[in-house]
Amino acid sequence: MKPITVSQFNEYIAQKLRSDLNLQQLPVQGEINGLNKSGQHYYFTLRDKKSSLKCNIWGSNAVKIDMSLVQNGKSVIVIGDISPYPKGGYYSFSVRFVQSIGEGDLLLELERIKKKLSEEGLFDPKWKKPIPSFPLRIGVITAATGAAIEDIKKIITAKNNLTDIIIFPTQVQGIGAPDSICSNINLANKLSKEGFKIDTLIVGRGGGSAEDLAAFNDENVARAIFASEIPVISAVGHESDVSISDFVADIRAETPTAAADMAVMDTGKLIEDILRYRELLLESTRLKLAGEREKLSLKTDLLFSNTNRKISDAKNEIDKLLISLKENNPLNILSKGYAAVLDDNNHIISDIDNLVVNNNYIVKMNSGDFTAKVIKIRKDNLK
């Protein structure tokens, strides 16, 4: 038999699928997961406990469907046609009608766990630990390869060259993922207690479907994060993805990149700020010193002025006193031809009534003195 090409094989299968009337206008029941939108088109996975089916709602059909029914976790019945894609060798289900039949098992379980942990107080803000501003070592619990770990390493090393990054390679989806996450959270805390101090933990993964992120809705993972003595940043999926891990962590980051950004301070910016504040401090100090010098100069000038004025006033007062003293000096009076009469005790006789006839008195004149004896006393009648 002559071999056929891959394209021929895929096209043959596609024709068979398109021509099968049992695959047209077929109702299928399942739970919606991994819903996303691209342009006017919607893509999601319809799953049950055993299998999953890739579905799409083209924009032309979306306008005819109540899109409020198309939500992650919703259990629905969809009606549509098989939609083969020969180039890729796969098929999907093109949905034309959606009917809700309630919440899906996955969403119900998620709400049960959330309610249970909330009632136990694990979401209470009082348990939230502050994230260190200057971590010297950050532990990252995520897959060892992939965009998430590369983004985290890139952001941290670009912002801060002082922080060490310790990677705990972790299974983040599928069977065994919850145990792997819990085990590494416990290991990080054990190492930190034994002296290999880890300041902050980033726990998470990149985006994916609700099924891909399911490990971070696991009750044991939530309890491990809550019990961690190391502050935990939860970084699960994209901005719109919210997991139970986000509620119990000390802080939630919208993405792994955002987690890395909030985990460390930008040392380059810190150095710039320090240098800028240093210049502001120096300039402020210079201005302060200049102002104090000016005040000191003004006060010194005022002190000198007051001192000079007081010295001048004192000199003037001394001059006045010298003049007064000079004018009232008895010796100056004697120089004008007057004489002073003193008794034996050198007391001045200022009144003639104090003289006694035949007593000797000293008569002091400008150039000397002599002794005189009172022979006769005659009072002045001009008084």
- For residues 334-339, average pLDDT: 75
Tell me whether strands 164-169 and 200-205 are parallel, antiparallel or unpaired.
unpaired
Both 165 and 258 in one domain: the answer is yes
- Helix 219-227 to helix 105-119 angle, to the nearest 10 degrees? 30
- Distance from C-alpha of 245 to C-alpha of 217, rounded to nearest angstrom: 6
Both 195 and 282 in one domain: the answer is no
Both 203 and 152 in one domain: the answer is yes
- For residues 364-369, average pLDDT: 83
Both 258 and 280 in one domain: the answer is no
Complete DSSP assignment for 151-205: HHHHHHHHH-SS-EEEEEE---SSTTHHHHHHHHHHHHHHHHHTT----EEEEEE
Q: What is the domain extent for residue 337?
A: 332-373
Decide if 27 is inside a domain.
yes
pTM for this entry: 0.55
160: tokens are 């801060």
332 and 323 in contact (C-beta within 8 Å)? no
Three-state DSSP state, 129: coil
Q: In this model, does residue 330 exceed pLDDT 70?
A: no
Task: Of 216, 267, 220, give the one whose Cα is nearest residue 237.
Answer: 216
Q: Count CB neighbours of 72 within 10 A.
A: 20
Decide if 382 is inside a domain.
no
Q: In this model, does residue 316 exceed pLDDT 60?
A: yes
Both 92 and 180 in one domain: the answer is no
pLDDT of residue 364: 86
The 10s digit of each residue's pLDDT in 9-35 is 999 898 988 888 888 888 898 999 889
DSSP state of 130: P
- Distance from C-alpha of 342 to C-alpha of 364, rounded to nearest angstrom: 8
- Distance from C-alpha of 188 to C-alpha of 227, rounded to nearest angstrom: 12
Both 136 and 206 in one domain: the answer is yes
- For residues 185-199, average pLDDT: 95
Both 235 and 277 in one domain: the answer is no
The 10s digit of each residue's pLDDT in 68-119 is 889 888 888 898 899 999 999 999 999 988 887 766 666 677 788 889 999 9
Q: How confident is the model at residue 184 (pLDDT cuts 50, 70, 90)?
A: very high
Both 309 and 346 in one domain: the answer is no
What's the domain count of the chain?
Answer: 4
Both 345 and 314 in one domain: the answer is no
The 10s digit of each residue's pLDDT in 251-305 is 999 889 999 999 998 888 888 888 999 999 999 999 999 989 989 989 888 888 8
Both 258 and 297 in one domain: the answer is no
